[in-house]
Structure 1
Amino acid sequence: MRIYTVGGAVRDGLLGLPVKDRDHVVVGATPQQMQALGYRAVGRDFPVFLHPETHEEYALARTERKTAPGYHGFAFHAAPDVTLEQDLARRDLTINAIAQHEDGSLVDPYHGRDDIAQRLFRHVSEAFVEDPVRILRVARFAARFADFSVAPETNALMQRMVDDGEVDALVPERVWQELSRGLMEQRPSRMFEVLRACGALKRILPELDALWGVPQPEKHHPEIDTGVHVMLVVDWAASQGHALPIRFAALLHDLGKGSTPADEWPRHHGHEARSVKLAEQVCARLKVPSECRDLALITAREHGNVGRAFEMRPTTLVTLFGRCDAFRKPQRFVDMLRAAECDHRGRTGFEQRPFPQAAYLEGALKAAQDIDAGAVAKQFQAQPQKIQDAIHAARSDKVAAFVALHRPASA
């Protein structure tokens, strides 16, 4: 029996990065031997065991064979005669197909160290085409390792997979899993760059893919291209360390511009309403969690209003708060303001420009919250139909006092 550390732990160690999780492959062993040593079996499709003390995963060396479309269509073979090289051959990229023995020596049959040195994502073998999830993984790795590029032959292979319809076999849950993980990396835009280059973005997120080549007014968007703008927005969100719901909202906020008739370019009147409909479409198709979906829809609808905050009357501001359910869910409203700030700063030359609208609206909301709605309602017990209007008026008075003190004189 020989045990090796494999995959990301070896790769990250060679890159000088912190190693978080360690996976191991065991060559020359049977399930019975593993259990006799105290390992606990957890694998459903193939033999995987947890170490009795560290609880790290140990998988028996295996080969795999494609049996059906999609990423579930595989048959696995694990036996003591499966070699380490055979196990490594089924992996996606050469940089993930390096093994390290317990004595520290490396086994690198597919020259992964060379590709690390050259900062290249290169497929191990033609078997890459058998699993469409690998396209998403390469794109996600590009977001994590921003100085790596996809080898031309690997991009050609991914293009072939798209053309052959392999990407269409991906289930929504897996697409969302990989996209959400990629959004949380340091440069999310790289993920979408890789997906566009091989044609996969048009199949996975056609609503987003439609944004490239769509112009915007240069005065407000020096980068002009809407797709470029959205990538700047998500990268700004990442640079600020924002949570996934904010990053996802940043990604979807301008989808409606992709459906603006060309004869109306570069203006995009009414794009917010179209953005909401398209964002709903994306969220339903990918089965996006409600926290991410709800913030994305609110941001798509209201990000323009946030930018116009100083122009709004106090009563209109209170209506905005109500429409966003901000009195019940104030943190979600604040998160929407963060996403709107990403929209503002995600423009060429705007990165350091102030965005006082966010703090202004947050302060106005706190002012509106500073009334006793129950006490107001009690005053109108005999006229319940007037309660909502009375609460709205009381909140508007509080916001008016705040506006008088905090709205810029130039607004």
Structure 2
Amino acid sequence: MSKTFQTYLVGGAVRDRLLGLSVQDHDWVVVGASPQDLLDAGYQPVGKDFPVFLHPKTHEEVALARTERKTAAGYHGFAFHAAPDVTLEQDLARRDLTINAMAEDENGHVIDPYGGQRDIAAKVLRHVSPAFAEDPVRILRLARFAARFSDFTVAPETVALMRAMVAAGEVDALVAERVWQELSRGLMENKPSRMFEVLREAGALAKLMPEVEALFGVPQPEAHHPEVDTGIHLLMVLDQCARLKAPLTVRYACLCHDLGKGTTRKEELPRHIAHEKRSEDLARKVSARWKVPSDCKELAELVAREHTHVHQSQGFSAEARLRLLERCDAWRRPDRFAEMLWACECDARGRLGLEDRDYPQRERLAADLAATQKVDLAAASAEAIARGAKGPDIGRAVQRARLAALNEAAS
């Protein structure tokens, strides 16, 4: 006969229910069982680092209650202990934040040994125990939760602990994949600026993205940027991304669009001449450091290089707008071009008092692309060849046909 054991709902599902939010994922912990007990009860084993099983009926993942011990620096430096004598309270103690360290039994009773309900009521993000300091990923996770629950504050003692972790070099041990995983998720929260504010307060942003840290305190011309500070502008742009429901590619591009302004020489401030090329180079550097996916990387470089031209395009001639489309590879990559315009609108609206401004450049350039996409390239090429054109002359004939389409659409 299989052994009797107790199963609890834990973590985010309990937290979100108490917050009145829809519950997306269910995490379960089994107390009082060994791996063999679960196998005997029909559970299917999965995972390698610690015992995780699939429920025989629901097929949801359940994990044995466990403790963990720090054995080396970084995210992977842990030894896990899962056994029937590990209590629910011991399992909850290893979790990061009090709001994530609650459980619920089969009768709906909440087990809350570390004050998670208290901190939900007070809207506070607080670490469960000093063991928080053993995993540097938790700094990123906390910052991400701050972006999700943007009306929560971070407990002062937790800020102090994170600063001590940074000073001890724990952040230096983070692996690129985990950093990108947390950053990308935080960028997609409803107030991504909070993630970067918390990382700054902890001293972690200067380690993870010194290019972004360098933007704070750097002035810009007040006529275009009433908020003046480049770092504050960046945070406002990120929140506009959330407001305009932009995808991750656009949000990451916005994160990187002005990085070059952090390297402007003091004697050139508050102007930032040629910051676009510097921004493009730094965006490429950040993407390489954190192994950013190619779609995000490519859009970030494009937006960094061209966003100023897009902003100015209302005053461009048809010829200049055509050259902009060509530089952006708009005919071959129309979806990426549309995302670039999206990012530029977020940039234009991420300014104090200008959050609701119109951005006709987006519609105008999208219309320009649509007009030139209607050009019959085969016919334009054939006509040029019939006139004796060869090589580059054929390409120039195609561009003349596109220019004619632009002028006709504007008339």
Q: Structure 2 length normalisation: TM-score?
A: 0.97
How far has the Cα of 1:378 moved from its partner? Answer: 1.7
Could you tell me which residue of structure 1 aligns to residue 46 of structure 2? 42
- 1:307 partnered with 2:314: no
Could you tell me which residue of structure 2 aligns to residue 90 of structure 1? 94
Partners of 1:189 and 1:232 within 8 A in 2: yes
Rounded to whole Å, the distance in 1 between the matches of 2:57 and 2:348 is 50
Rounded to whole Å, the distance in 1 between the matches of 2:323 and 2:246 is 27
The partner residue of 1:374 within 378, 381, 392 is 378
Q: Structure 1 stretches of 5 or more lacking a match?
A: 406-411
Q: Could you report, residue by residue, the CA deviation over 1:165-221 in whole angstroms, capped at 9, with x for unpaired residues?
A: 000000111100000000000000000000000100000011011000000011110
The percent of aligned pairs where both chains have the same amino acid is 60
Partners of 1:172 and 1:287 within 8 A in 2: yes
How far has the Cα of 1:383 moved from its partner? Answer: 2.7
Could you tell me which residue of structure 2 aligns to residue 408 of structure 1? none
How far has the Cα of 1:31 moved from its partner? Answer: 1.1
Q: Which moved more, 1:221-230 or 1:365-374?
A: 365-374
Q: Which moved more, 1:252-261 or 1:309-318?
A: 309-318
How far has the Cα of 1:136 moved from its partner? Answer: 0.2
One-letter identity of the residue aligned with 1:67: T
- 1:103 partnered with 2:107: yes
- 1:166 partnered with 2:173: no
One-letter identity of the residue aligned with 1:216: Q
- SS in structure 2 of the partner of residue 24 of structure 1: strand
How far has the Cα of 1:52 moved from its partner? Answer: 2.2
Q: How does 1:191-230 map to 2 (within 5 A)?
A: 191-230=195-234
How far has the Cα of 1:55 moved from its partner? Answer: 2.1
Partners of 1:248 and 1:296 within 8 A in 2: yes
Partners of 1:314 and 1:397 within 8 A in 2: no
The partner residue of 1:365 within 363, 369, 394 is 369
The partner residue of 2:33 within 15, 29, 33 is 29
- 1:384 partnered with 2:372: no
Could you tell me which residue of structure 2 aligns to residue 283 of structure 1? 287
Partners of 2:244 and 2:346 within 8 A in 1: no
Partners of 2:74 and 2:135 within 8 A in 1: yes
Could you tell me which residue of structure 1 aligns to residue 403 of structure 2? 396
- 1:351 partnered with 2:355: yes
How far has the Cα of 1:316 moved from its partner? Answer: 1.7
How far has the Cα of 1:317 moved from its partner? Answer: 1.4
Q: Structure 2 stretches of 5 or more lacking a match?
A: none
Rounded to whole Å, the distance in 1 between the matches of 2:202 and 2:152 is 16
Rounded to whole Å, the distance in 1 between the matches of 2:186 and 2:65 is 29
The partner residue of 1:265 within 259, 262, 269 is 269
Paired residues, number? 404
Partners of 1:245 and 1:295 within 8 A in 2: yes
Rounded to whole Å, the distance in 1 between the matches of 2:203 and 2:395 is 52
- SS in structure 2 of the partner of residue 384 of structure 1: coil
Rounded to whole Å, the distance in 1 between the matches of 2:246 and 2:407 is 31
The partner residue of 1:175 within 166, 176, 179 is 179
- SS in structure 2 of the partner of residue 153 of structure 1: helix
Rounded to whole Å, the distance in 2 between the matches of 1:18 and 1:283 is 34
How far has the Cα of 1:242 moved from its partner? Answer: 1.1
Partners of 1:315 and 1:393 within 8 A in 2: no
